[in-house]
Chain A
Amino acid sequence: MLAQATEKLRSRYGATALTNAAFALAVLVLIIAASLASEVFLTDRNLTSISRQIVTNGLLSLGMLLVILTGGIDLSVGSVLAFAGLLATGLQAHMPFPLAIAIALAMGLAVGFFNGFVIARFKLQPFIVTLAMMGSLRGLLYMYSDTPQYPVDPLFRSLLGGGFIGPMPVPTLIFLLALPVVWFYLSHTVSGRAVYAIGVNEEAVRLAGINVRKHIIAAYMASGFLASLAGVLLASRLGIAQPSVGVGYELDAIAAVVIGGGILGGGGGRVSGVFGGVIALALVDNVLNLFNVESYYQQFLKGIIILIAVLARRKPA
């Protein structure tokens, strides 16, 4: 009976639409269950805290989505994030902070350009190129600063990390603005369409006379830029930039993309799915904390939850 019903829906809306709807429903159920089970879940303080917590992984995941769509991967985002935070806070001693931020963001773009250029020009595996970048950049940022950097300008903290526009923390607002920008790029521009197509069949795109290299470089530059933006916002929120921050963040971003329906290897994934994936991961963290689940159980459960989410998205044979 159920099988027939789902089959009907499938033939009408397609499998991905159905799994996406089921996924959105699952996130909604999680939210409702959390609000019923824990009296603190819906408090202002907790909601503000969740909304701040999604920013870092949210921005990294958007960049990761673009790169994964081309069939690549970007493992250097954690190092870029740490470096950008150090530059934006460390350079404030010598210049006004907006300029320091601009330099940090330019660094992210430059790293992205380098990644994309090497991958597209020399046809190297994105995994290895960005893994090498991840390591070298971490070494470089320790050379630049082996001690934490404190922001000099109090505005840097109060405007960005601690600021609110209405009830919304500024970093959250920046992330929420980034969502439609990336969505518009992917669904309404030639370059965005090309990014999808490259992940499906790079050769066909090349034969159609489209400059593949340019679009691959653009995807990695976007990833580098978003990672550096996340780093600046994180440093301003924590009130400090530490060289050892951001280790392992690339894995959370990849997880969010895949939970949201992205396909490693390219050609599949949506901004709405990534948003859901980021929310789901943040909720799981927050809810497990509110229920005082011991840390080791948390890690175990998180792994299982990711596995179930991916299993549920499996294409029917």
Chain B
Amino acid sequence: MKHLGKLFLLGAFALMTVATAHLPAAAKDLKIGVVNLSLCCSYFVGMDQAIKDEAKVFPNVTVLSTDAKGDAAKLTSNVEDLLSQKVDGLIVSAAWIEAAPEALDAIKAAGVPVVLVDRMLKGGDFTSWIGPDNYAIGVGIGQYIVKRLNGQGLVVVLRGGPADNSIGLARTDGMLSEVEKAGIKVEAAPDFGGWSVDGGFKLMEDMLTKHPQISAVFCENDSMCQGAQKAIKDAGRSGDIFLASVDGEKGTLKEIMTEGTNYAATGLNNSDQIGRAGFHRLMAILAGAQAPKETVLPSPIITKDNAEKFYNPDSVF
């Protein structure tokens, strides 16, 4: 009898521990810091916005977002400011800088997890990275150009710059790996287009003057090709030159879907998707999940055949 009572008690205790183990953890407030190198352009604004949108779903998650206005030193001090505020985790969108060792060291010393989105920083440790494979996107666009040109013609390349921007370099190198193999001629504009519509317009005007025969234009991002397209149209050469770029922003997708356009293709690099994935990656890490060090998001090549599928009129980018 006594034993039975003991057993019963033990059993009840065991049941209780099992039951409590399945209760959700007590809700606690989470503070997440977002470190943006720059909110200059819709690509990065879209990423920042995507993180905030995902966080809004959870009433006890606050997002503190900062903008270093393109300055690597300010990015480091923004990291320090966020760590001062005792954030539980950080998301870093370092855009066009290669490395920020001091910032990553400070995060490590504070013992909080950090998820890098879009740009994988060198020279320092991080918890996890999610972003595109820019070289692979370049390869995809290169294959498209080769197929369309049949190994003939001249491709003009518009680069974003400056010289230390390896994102643009990876895209162009990927494209060149396919195009040069096929024996197609390539001519890069001597100057940089600064990733902007007006920059692309100006570079293209010069290239049109220099080269009477151009078959295709490759730009390191959509904006520059939008400018280049306008310059080609002004020169009355839309019929014999097509454009291909990287990003898949709204305006470009709409253009690609337009009947009779010479804007042929873009490699998807979706900042909205990257931002959302980055947020959930950080949440999983905070919950104790073992996350992979590097996650490459798929970047399909978009043409008039599939643009419909990717077009979202409400997107920021």
Residues in chain A within 8 A of chain B (CB atoms): 40, 43, 45-46, 49, 52-53, 56, 142, 145-148, 150, 161-162, 234, 237-240, 242-245, 247-248, 285-286, 289-290, 292, 294-296, 298-299
- Are A245 and B83 neighbours in the complex by a CB distance under 8 Å? no
Chain B, 147-169, CB within 8 A of any chain A CB: 162-164, 166
B283 interface residue per 8 A CB criterion: no
- Are B77 and A49 neighbours in the complex by a CB distance under 8 Å? yes
23 A-B pairs with C-beta separation under 8 A: A43-B84, A45-B84, A46-B80, A52-B80, A145-B164, A146-B162, A146-B163, A147-B164, A148-B98, A150-B99, A234-B73, A238-B72, A238-B73, A239-B123, A240-B102, A240-B123, A242-B72, A286-B81, A292-B64, A292-B65, A295-B36, A295-B66, A296-B39
Given the interface contacts A56-B73, A245-B73, A294-B65, does A240 sit within 8 Å of B163 by beta carbon?
A: no
Task: For B77, give the chain A residue with the smallest CB separation.
Answer: A53
B53 interface residue per 8 A CB criterion: no
The 10 residue pairs across chains A and B that have the minimum distance between CB atoms: A146-B163, A295-B67, A239-B101, A49-B80, A46-B84, A289-B81, A148-B98, A40-B84, A239-B102, A53-B77
A40, A239, A299: most-surrounded residue (chain B CB, <10 A): A239
- Are A40 and B86 neighbours in the complex by a CB distance under 8 Å? yes
How far is the CB of B46 from the nearest CB of chain A, in Å?
14
Chain B, 54-94, CB within 8 A of any chain A CB: 64-67, 69-73, 76-78, 80-86
A147 to chain B: which residues have CB within 8 Å?
A: 98, 163-164, 166
How far is the CB of A252 from the nearest CB of chain B, in Å?
10
B208 interface residue per 8 A CB criterion: no
- Given A49-B84, A146-B163, A295-B69, list of 16 further CB < 8 A pairs? A40-B84, A45-B80, A46-B84, A49-B80, A148-B98, A150-B101, A238-B100, A238-B102, A238-B103, A239-B99, A239-B101, A242-B98, A245-B72, A289-B81, A292-B65, A295-B67
Q: Bound complex: CA of A14 vs CA of B255, how far in Å?
A: 66
Given the interface contacts A148-B99, A237-B102, does A243 sit within 8 Å of B163 by beta carbon?
A: yes
How far is the CB of B63 from the nearest CB of chain A, in Å?
9
Task: For A236, give the chain B residue with the smallest CB separation.
Answer: B102
Q: Bound complex: CA of A147 vs CA of B67, how far in Å?
A: 23
Given the interface contacts A49-B84, A239-B105, does A298 sit within 8 Å of B67 by beta carbon?
A: yes
- Are B70 and A247 neighbours in the complex by a CB distance under 8 Å? yes
A145, A244, A299: most-surrounded residue (chain B CB, <10 A): A244
B112 interface residue per 8 A CB criterion: no
B100 to chain A: which residues have CB within 8 Å?
A: 238, 240
- Are A245 and B65 neighbours in the complex by a CB distance under 8 Å? no
B124 to chain A: which residues have CB within 8 Å?
A: 239
B69 to chain A: which residues have CB within 8 Å?
A: 295, 299
Interface size on B, residues (CB 8 A): 36
Q: Bound complex: CA of A146 vs CA of B162, how far in Å?
A: 8
- Are B81 and A238 neighbours in the complex by a CB distance under 8 Å? no
- Are B39 and A240 neighbours in the complex by a CB distance under 8 Å? no
B162 to chain A: which residues have CB within 8 Å?
A: 142, 146, 243-244
Q: Bound complex: CA of A267 vs CA of B72, how far in Å?
A: 35
Task: For A248, give the chain B residue with the smallest CB separation.
Answer: B71
Task: For B48, give the chain A residue with the smallest CB separation.
Answer: A295
- Are A49 and B99 neighbours in the complex by a CB distance under 8 Å? no
- Are B102 and A45 neighbours in the complex by a CB distance under 8 Å? no
Q: Bound complex: CA of A162 vs CA of B81, how far in Å?
A: 17
A46, A150, A238: most-surrounded residue (chain B CB, <10 A): A238
Contact of B78 among A238, A248, A289 (CB under 8 A): A289
B182 interface residue per 8 A CB criterion: no
How far is the CB of B196 from the nearest CB of chain A, in Å?
15
- Are A161 and B102 neighbours in the complex by a CB distance under 8 Å? yes
B186 interface residue per 8 A CB criterion: no
B184 interface residue per 8 A CB criterion: no
Q: Bound complex: CA of A158 vs CA of B96, how far in Å?
A: 26
How far is the CB of A37 from the nearest CB of chain B, in Å?
13
- Are B83 and A45 neighbours in the complex by a CB distance under 8 Å? yes
B97 interface residue per 8 A CB criterion: yes
| Complex interface bits, B93-125 against A, C-beta within 8 A gives 1, otherwise 0 | 000111111110100000000000000000110
Contact of B76 among A148, A238, A244, A286 (CB under 8 A): A238
Task: For B105, give the chain A residue with the smallest CB separation.
Answer: A239
Q: Bound complex: CA of A237 vs CA of B80, how far in Å?
A: 13
Q: Bound complex: CA of A285 vs CA of B80, how far in Å?
A: 12
How far is the CB of A42 from the nearest CB of chain B, in Å?
10
- Are B81 and A142 neighbours in the complex by a CB distance under 8 Å? no
- Are B83 and A295 neighbours in the complex by a CB distance under 8 Å? no
Task: For A81, give the chain B residue with the smallest CB separation.
Answer: B73
- Are A240 and B83 neighbours in the complex by a CB distance under 8 Å? no
- Are B76 and A290 neighbours in the complex by a CB distance under 8 Å? no
Q: Bound complex: CA of A247 vs CA of B37, how far in Å?
A: 14
Q: Bound complex: CA of A40 vs CA of B81, how far in Å?
A: 9
- Are A289 and B164 neighbours in the complex by a CB distance under 8 Å? no
Q: Bound complex: CA of A145 vs CA of B84, how far in Å?
A: 35
How far is the CB of A167 from the nearest CB of chain B, in Å?
16
- Are A290 and B81 neighbours in the complex by a CB distance under 8 Å? yes
Contact of B163 among A45, A142, A150 (CB under 8 A): A142
How far is the CB of B216 from the nearest CB of chain A, in Å?
26
